[in-house]
Amino acid sequence: MANNFNQGVLNQEELVYQLSKALAAIADALPRVKLHTILYPSKIMKHSVAMLHARIIKFFHRAMMWYKEGKLKHLYTSFARPASLRFKDLVDEIAEYSNRVDQVAAASAHAEQRDMHRTQLATQTTVNELDRTIRSWITQNRVSDRFDEILKQQQITQTNIAQMEQRFLCEFFDIFCT
């Protein structure tokens, strides 16, 4: 009987250990889940989070029911329903839904990254087109500026020729020119 009692104590110790471990996992998951919900508020994310919360509530309810049991019932259930049978299903479901939330967040992040990449490519294409247009304008302006320079030189040359013709006529015919 002492051996059975010792086994009951060990089972009870294992149950308390598993409960503590599950509570720690829940405490670790909730802030991460909250952040994922804020960053990626999609329908599938909301559904996954709701399912996770439902499992957490079930777990707390079951833990509260266990806690309300008396010490004698704890001793009895440590043989009849050890920790692996009593809470394992909910702990596994909580882990599964927590992973599902992480997977939805990762998929959402990949989709967001893909959209940013597409936007970046479109922006780069627009920048390249603007660069080509500006370079074309600059080239056209350089040609236009060179053309204007040639016209100015030609006008100066024509003015110089006219002045030279006038000076020649004035000097040749010895007339006073103004």
User: Please, are residues 167 and 177 in contact by the beta-carbon 8 Å criterion?
Assistant: yes
Reading the block at residue 21, the tokens are 């471990």
Check residue 175 and give its pLDDT: 65
Region 131-157 average pLDDT: 72
| Residue 162: both structure tokens together | 């006219």
Supply 128's token pair: 């390249």
C-alpha–C-alpha distance, residues 20 and 18, integer Å: 5
Q: What is the pLDDT of residue 79?
A: 63
Alpha-helix residue ranges (DSSP H) falling in the chain: 2-39, 43-68, 71-80, 83-86, 88-172
Average pLDDT over residues 150-173: 72
**What integer pLDDT is reported at residue 92 of this predicted model?**
92
Domain boundaries, the chain: 2-129
Residue 30, pLDDT score: 94
Q: Cβ distance 108 to 40 under 8 Å?
A: yes
Distance CA 78, CA 66 (A): 11
pLDDT of 59-81, one tens digit each? 999 888 878 877 776 666 666 66
H-type helices in 40-87, by residue range?
43-68, 71-80, 83-86
**Can you give the pLDDT at residue 103?**
96
Residue 169 in contact with residue 175, Cβ under 8 Å? yes
CA distances from 81 to 22, 56, 118 (A): 17, 20, 55
> Which amino acid is residue 47, in one-letter code?
H
On average, the pLDDT of the chain sits at 81
Residue 3 has pLDDT above 80, yes or no: no
**Are 69 and 77 contacting, i.e. CB atoms less than 8 angstroms apart?**
yes
pLDDT tens digit sequence for 130-142:
888 877 776 777 7
